[in-house]
Homo-oligomer: A and B are copies of this chain.
Amino acid sequence: MEDLTIALDVRSAAPLYEQIYEHIKREITQGGLPFGKRLPSTRKLAEFLQVSRTTVDLAYEQLVSEGYVEARPYKGYFVCELEGICSLNTENPRKRKKPEQPDSGCRYDFSPRGVDLNSFPLNAWRKLSKEILMEDNTRFFQLGDPQGEWELRCTIADYLHQARGVSAGPEQIVIGAGNDFLLMLLCVLLGNGNVFAMESPTYRKAYELFDGLSYTVKTAEMDESGMRVDSLEKTGANLAYVMPSHQYPLGIVMPVKRRMQLLEWAAGKEGRYILEDDYDSEFRYRGKPIPALAGYDRRGKVIYIGTFSKSIAPAIRVSYLVLPESLMESYEKKGRRISSTVSRVDQLLISRFLRDGYYERHLNKMRAVYKSRHDALLEAMKPFREILTVSGENAGVHLLLNFQNGMTEEEAVRRAREQSVGVYGLSRYYIGEAARKRQTVILGYANVTEEEIKEAAKRLLAAWLEPVPPF
């Protein structure tokens, strides 16, 4: 029993049974107690160590349950055979250095991904959050409906009907934590063998996502109305991903005629769908918002996806899918297995945010803020009219500048950066082998004040109005 001479420390925070367990485990893993060796009975070891028998029982039981020791009925406790390395990996976690955030490093950053958060309705958010948590019950912490809270789905159905012309019932709506998740879910519902057609340039993240999920992605050509249906037909795709209300990044509004043609295309074959990404339809500065393509769909061919990340705040991880009837069976079979990705508290919060009118007020406010910036940027671009044309205006939160003086995209971006102004090339939004004829940069204005726009424009004058050196 000498290898079980354990230096027990009664003042230690670790209970005695644990000290015994740790000692024996160490002996076993380091070979001090070889395979097959019989351990002393609990009574004997308890006497030897001057501890209660329960203490030794507990230590042995732990060793047995972890598989270091085997209990043979009527025979006693024996060391198990262990192969390979079996000591716990107890080195300290490696040095931790928080990775640095990527940053344009520019004083004026026209990132198209920005959202203005100075207008975030933090007080309303606090109030609603507090209200929900004060409702003294724990119902909200029980597992909710995988499809999303009924209340929120009803609120979204109402909103879609009023604001987007879409008549969908709450039973067709699926709530999820962001578009990326919902696109992943959609891939589960659609199953294998689907071919996506996308425009080029397009929302690159969606492309990368479909590509990462191992879908075949084809490029359909575009004209000034958006995706060309003849080209779409040629791709052989059964799914067309479009942003009819405001194409990203070109800002094209798809005219009704093209919408009808797309719907005709989808109706032409079983299993064809249009995936309508309505990502920033809320922001339109002239006229009424343009109704969603899903609003024209009478044959259940449009899958609609919308989000609150763009209209409220990026960290609000709430998006929604509207599924046509024909996909509901697949949802019931495959989708319902996947638990909701949004907490019930957040779902109720968003639902009340919409229901109580906060969302409408917030959208009106943001529309005004973004419109002023949109107008200021258009105004500030006037001195450039000799060298570039502006497109994609009147909606969304970015503009395109198309250089007409031979300035290349790279050159424009580089020169702006030298003046500490961040503008972004259009090339990055192209997929596949599509032509990249235009020399175009994108300026997002969601996060730049009017004052800053004026300042940045002065710098861009210096950057871009110098003659382009001949190569």
Contact = CB atoms under 8 A, between A and B. Distances in A.
A85 B264 CA distance: 10
Interface residues on A, range: 35 or more
Contacts of A158: 93
Contacts of A176: 341
Interface in A324-383: 334, 337-346
Contacts of A263: 84
B82 A168 contact: no
B67 A225 contact: yes
A169 B138 contact: no
A141 B337 contact: no
A83 to B, nearest CB: 5
Nearest to A313: B141
Contacts of A75: none
A89 B86 CA distance: 66
Contacts of A161: 92-93
Interface string A271-307: 0000000000000001110110001111000000000
Nearest to A447: B142
Contact of A260 (B84, B98, B225, B297): B84
A286 B208 contact: no
A448 B334 CA distance: 31
Nearest to A87: B296
A143 interface: yes
A419 interface: no
A141 B118 CA distance: 10
A330 B161 CA distance: 41
Contact of A167 (B93, B140, B257): B93
A96 B65 CA distance: 53
Given A94-B169, A338-B184, A82 B256 contact: yes
Interface stretch (A42-50, A129-137, A401-409, A410-418): A129-137
Contacts of A170: 93, 96
A288 B18 contact: yes
Contact of A315 (B115, B130, B298, B343): B343
Contact of A181 (B58, B125, B177): B177
A118 B62 CA distance: 31
A436 B296 CA distance: 53
Interface of A: 17-18, 21, 58, 61-62, 65-68, 80-94, 96, 98-99, 113, 115, 117-118, 120, 122, 125-126, 129-130, 133-134, 136, 138, 140-144, 150, 154, 157-158, 161, 165-171, 176-181, 184-185, 188, 191-192, 205, 208-209, 212-214, 225, 253-261, 263-264, 286-288, 290-291, 295-298, 309, 312-317, 334, 337-346, 394
5 contacts: A65-B394, A81-B257, A89-B296, A93-B168, A178-B339
Given A89-B165, A188-B212, A212-B337, 7 more contacts: A21-B287, A58-B286, A66-B253, A67-B259, A84-B263, A93-B170, A177-B341
